[in-house]
Structure 1
Amino acid sequence: MNEFENKNGGVSGPKNGLLNKPRKAISGFVYSAAVIAALVVSLIYSLALTAAMKSSGSSLDGFRSQDWYKYLNFLLPQVAYIAVISLFSFFYKAAPRSYGYRKTSVKYWLIALPLAFGLLFSLNWVNNLFVELLSKIGYTDPSLSDPSLTSREYALLYQIPSLAGGGFVGALFVIALLPAVCEETIFRGVILDGIKDIGTVAACLLGGLLFSIFHQNPAQTVYQFICGAVFTLIALRADSILPAVFMHFINNAVILFDYKFDFLSKISSAGSIAMYVVSGVCLVGSLVYLIFFDKKTNRKKEGAIKPFMLAALAGVILCGIMWISVLVDNMG
């Protein structure tokens, strides 16, 4: 029983109130709250930008290439997530240890490295195949919407803040570190702690699905589903979210390093093939060990998923609507 649960499986608080809901429902509310908080912050930001454009006579295109605009695009959602995590911790007297910030065996840190390497470099074909399928219904990846720019040039011009000098440290903080900490705290910490009794397989699949639609990015749907499921698996096996935070950070950081140094494009064809093969072996080997040999934390279904899904439904619906909206906006 968690330190903020009462004997009936709820948390201490007013009778029949939100604070007295079962832990599983609380996890669902946290998911919905994170989605809603990010949307509210985005709406306020959009209104502020509209007001700024009217007063200055500027256009959105004029703002999009500015570093402050790029930083805010990455920073504001994380501020919303921090607020949700902080409110959860305050109202339920939940210490970080209770939602995953626990020491774990060194072996999980060692497994995290090849697992992160495998996820990053061996799944390109899966993602590319899904994007190709979307293109058959008219979808175009936003990064390819300008024929005069490569996807890398588009990202550096409109999405990634300056990576020159100390700017790289700032970008690493808002693009790699903050999302890794905040998103893993929500998904592999607060949410997973509430749903892990539905069974290991179900928890991994649900973790992948929630993580995927949460990002509302059609082009990354399959890749983020796999990442979410794998992050959930290692968090369950390690009984800690720290290896998942590390993997998430490594994933984003390597992408940033490539934007700065463009090292992946310099790898020869033979080198690329070798990298894909090695990364595939790392991914499969790590997963085989975690799934078939490291089964001490395996859980069969002990609880129902319904309380969580009812509470998370608002967030799931909103994410679904936004996912469809992004898809439609980039068609034709």
Structure 2
Amino acid sequence: MKRLPLWASNTLFLLLLASLITISAVSQTTSALGFYGRNVLVEGAVLGLALLFLCLFKVPVNSVGFVRVRPSLILTAAGLALSGYGLASGVNVLWNLFMRSLGAHFPQSGGLPLQGPLEIVLTVVCVALIPAFCEEFFFRGVFMRSCEPLGKWHAILLSGALFGLLHMQAQNLIAHMALGVVISYLVHRSGSLFVGMTYHGVNNLIAVGLSAAARSGTGPLQLGTPAPVFGTVLAALIVLGLSGLFFAGFMAVFRMLTGNRDSAPAAIKGGRLVLSSIPLFLALMIIGSVLTLGFFKAFGVLG
């Protein structure tokens, strides 16, 4: 199967990082883009750069993993996403409580535009559907496949971790990286991007639904409702336990429905690997700087 050279995919990641930082800087200096305009630009950069590199290196688009799978596998992926969201939420709550105990105060999200049916539909499209397609095409369809010569788990862990790091959100760092690794594993084992898109889309759709529930101002999801630390920790542990049980069950079903796709493409030699990794090292230095700045702000070091 033809794939991008590793140096090309690492360069692609570096260019995407530069594009996202530029879009973020522009959106902070002008309100002309708006929420939807910014999201469309971000996902356009994700998909556009991936397609550009595939064209430059003459890699067929149909080689990235658009493989049909049984409906049962899609439903299992959706179940994994539902239970996985509970796991990620529990981890995220504990992570933020731990950081808060150290004196960190992360900025609160401004929420999603969900005023009326039209905004809800647009938000679902821009937050759940488009990112599920574009980001899975980039990370699992293009990047992970180019990393497969490094070995199965190297490809899964690297593509998943970079997916989480590229969000550059210190308060959600662990959850995003775990999400990326899980989706990478599911796509690698099933051989289909549709599985990853399903998981990604359902995950983001749940986030939109919970944001809408919080905005409605009813029940335990009411915005601004204070919660005691002990109660929050207990609730997070319960959610982690229950979600973990369901996740393990769905994962067992998923493994039964899929065969083992372990393959052994030609390995990359040490010297070539170091040279190929230079763009990735540069990207990681930039991401590390952004995350460090975020932690400094959270701890009040920069005022």
Matched, 1:126 2:108: no
Counterpart amino acid of residue 265 in structure 1: P
Q: Quick one: which of 156, 181, 185 aligns to 1:204?
A: 156
Does the residue aligned with 2:117 lie in a helix, a strand or coil?
coil
Matched, 1:282 2:237: no
Matched, 1:115 2:80: yes
Structure 1 residues 132 and 278: CA distance shift in structure 2, 3 A = closer
For residues 20-31 of structure 1, the aligned pairs below 5 Å read: 23-31=5-13
Please say if residues 144 and 156 of structure 2, whose CA atoms lie closer than 8 Å, have aligned partners that are also in contact: no
**What residue is the counterpart of 1:152 in the other structure?**
none
For 2:100 and 2:93, how far apart are their aligned partners in 1? 10
For residues 1-332 of structure 1, the aligned pairs below 5 Å read: 1-2=1-2, 23-47=5-29, 49=30, 69-143=34-108, 155=109, 158-262=110-214, 265=220, 277-288=241-252, 294=258, 296-299=260-263, 303-304=267-268, 306=274, 308-332=276-300
For 1:98 and 1:307, how far apart are their aligned partners in 2? 26
**What residue is the counterpart of 2:224 in the other structure?**
none
How far the C-alpha of 1:292 sits from its partner, in A, is 8.9
Please list the CA deviations of residues 255-308 of structure 1 after superposition, one character each: whole Å capped at 9, or x if unmatched.
111222348837xx9x99987554322212334565699552124685245455
Counterpart amino acid of residue 282 in structure 1: F
Structure 1 residues 273 and 299: CA distance shift in structure 2, 3 A = same
In structure 2, runs of 5+ residues without a counterpart are 222-230
For 1:177 and 1:272, how far apart are their aligned partners in 2? 28
For 1:249 and 1:69, how far apart are their aligned partners in 2? 22
Please list the CA deviations of residues 118-176 of structure 1 after superposition, one character each: whole Å capped at 9, or x if unmatched.
21113333222222232244321211xxxxxxxxxxx4xx3412341211011111111
For 1:79 and 1:293, how far apart are their aligned partners in 2? 34
Structure 1 residues 301 and 93: CA distance shift in structure 2, 3 A = closer
Which one is further off, 33-42 or 257-266?
Answer: 257-266
Counterpart amino acid of residue 112 in structure 1: A
Q: Could you tell me the percent identity over the aligned residues?
A: 19
Length-normalised TM-score, structure 2: 0.81
Counterpart amino acid of residue 133 in structure 1: F
Please say if residues 41 and 80 of structure 1, whose CA atoms lie closer than 8 Å, have aligned partners that are also in contact: no
For 2:219 and 2:264, how far apart are their aligned partners in 1? 42
How far the C-alpha of 1:74 sits from its partner, in A, is 2.7
How far the C-alpha of 1:254 sits from its partner, in A, is 1.2
Q: When the two structures are aligned, how many residues end up with a matched partner?
A: 283
Counterpart amino acid of residue 317 in structure 1: M
For 1:231 and 1:264, how far apart are their aligned partners in 2? 32
For 2:275 and 2:63, how far apart are their aligned partners in 1? 20
How far the C-alpha of 1:32 sits from its partner, in A, is 1.1
How far the C-alpha of 1:313 sits from its partner, in A, is 2.1
For 2:212 and 2:76, how far apart are their aligned partners in 1? 27
Please list the CA deviations of residues 50-108 of structure 1 after superposition, one character each: whole Å capped at 9, or x if unmatched.
xxxxxxxxxxxxx6xx9x63323433322221331231233233333112222234443
Please say if residues 214 and 319 of structure 1, whose CA atoms lie closer than 8 Å, have aligned partners that are also in contact: yes
- Whose radius of gyration is greater, 1 or 2? 1
For 1:252 and 1:202, how far apart are their aligned partners in 2? 26
How far the C-alpha of 1:323 sits from its partner, in A, is 1.4
Cα-Cα RMSD: 3.1
How far the C-alpha of 1:42 sits from its partner, in A, is 2.6
